[in-house]
Structure 1
Amino acid sequence: MRLRVVLEPSEEGGYTVYVPSLPGCISEGDTRDEALENIREAIELYLETVEDDLVCSETAEQVEIAV
């Protein structure tokens, strides 16, 4: 899966990074690379909780699509 992230320099130093398509999915890091690594982890955790909350009926069909 590919997601667009926004990486912004912080006034205090380091970077803040967020995912516009995943509300509330935000992280930061002292360096650009650290911020990107941290947002990857944040995305994984974000999507894991979404998946855990998914409740399907017995007649529901789950289909994976590429985005």
Structure 2
Amino acid sequence: MKAEFTAIIETAPEGGFWAICPEVPGANGQGETIEETKTNLRQAIELIFEDRKTDILRGLPNDAIQDKVLIG
């Protein structure tokens, strides 16, 4: 899945950086560099989506239709 999300990155008071993604509540990352922070944020987003998908699919009936939707 390819998608584009907003990373809001700030300098952390103790050093390094921290970031949040406003489109995905609960997604955040931190790191010593901006790139490391963005990598950690991306991993957090992926984990959140994976967890949500697993949780939703667990309760679907066998005859539910799964398809793709393109946005953008």
Superposition TM-score, scaled by structure 2 size: 0.78
Give, as a single letter, the amino acid of the residue that structure 1 aligns with 2:15: G
Structure 1: give runs of 5+ residues left out of the alignment: none
CA RMSD of aligned residues (A): 1.6
Unpaired segments of 5 or more residues in structure 2?
none
* Aligned twin of 1:45: 47
5 Å matches for 1:5-20? 5-20=7-22
The normalised TM-score by structure 1 is 0.83
Length, aligned pairs only = 67
Aligned residue for 1:28? Answer: 30
| Stretch deviating more after TM superposition (20-29 or 53-62) | 53-62
Are 2:63 and 1:66 aligned?
Answer: no
The structure, 1 or 2, with the larger RCO (C-alpha pairs under 8 Å, 6+ apart) is 1
Whole-angstrom distance in 1 between the partners of 2:13 and 2:54: 36
Q: Which runs of 4+ in 1 moved over 4 A?
A: none
Q: Percent identity?
A: 27
